[in-house]
A and B are shown apart, each in its own frame.
Chain A
Amino acid sequence: MNIFISNSGDVPIYEQITSQIKDMIMRGELKGGDALPSMRALAKDLHISVITTKRAYEELERDGFIHTMVGRGSFVADANMEMMKEEKYRKIEEILTEGVRLAKSSGISCEELQEIIQMVYEED
């Protein structure tokens, strides 16, 4: 599994792991039933603390992306369309929140913002 950790940014390491794994699941790189490396093996591969990988896996489990069975390991949860969509919604909201914040601080109105969104949508 190819996960890349950056020590320099502001994003906590466990969050980097959860986002990357979530992305892989949503892109279909990881499918329902696939086995994930154990928390300890992943920690060793990435040269990070076991507590970090544990936290990442716990969050992924809480959000329904994986399930962990004691003694057997962690596996990708079966594809749940509803859940995937929800996750996408969440991500979009995150990105738009940033956009809105910028708009507000530069005095751009909601209507102007919507125009921009329309334009970008039509571009692709």
Chain B
Amino acid sequence: MSGLLVKEYYTLRRYLKQYILLFIFFGVLSVYLDSAIYFQAMVTMSMCMLVFTGMSYDSTAGWDKYVMTMPVSRKDVVLSKYVSCVIYAASAIVVSTVFSIIINRIHPMEDGGLMLMTTVAATLLCLIFIIYSILLPMIFKLGVEKTRILMIAVIMIPVFAILGTAEYMPESVLDFIEQHAAIFGAAGVIMSVLIYFISYFISVSIFSKKEF
């Protein structure tokens, strides 16, 4: 399985330059919008898109067929995608948070508090887990292109769901949550990780049936 990750590195590192330019652009934009959170969110989201790019290239090159002739199990292939996604998300969040803090020192922004940024970082991680828990099995089942089309819906649904519930929840409940923020936070993280695990097993099941 590690071999697959090394392959990802060598194939995608050529695109890293483009990504760095993109992040610089986001950096500038976030200063303009006076929002460090914006930077964190945009960097993380775009890094995770690498999963799509990677799988799309796999399919175009014929690598997805080729790798199945190697001593690699279908589980390994699925696992490598799930692990990659976490690696992309984690590195994006860490790097973007660090940069946000640095930029904030130089040019303080409205939402530049350390506490806030850490919370945002954790929330982003959970969001990624949830979104990709849905997207990854879709890609394994339907392929990259079809999933891309449905992707907008997939991302929007959890986001709106959360915002919606926040909007319509009674004050008392919101207060209760804020008071026990740590516990709810931890619960949220555990939940999203669990969902990610379940998604992995679903993907393995889907991929085992696939024919090349």
The answer on direct contact between A and B (beta carbons under 8 Å) is: no
Binding site for A on B (CB under 8 A): none
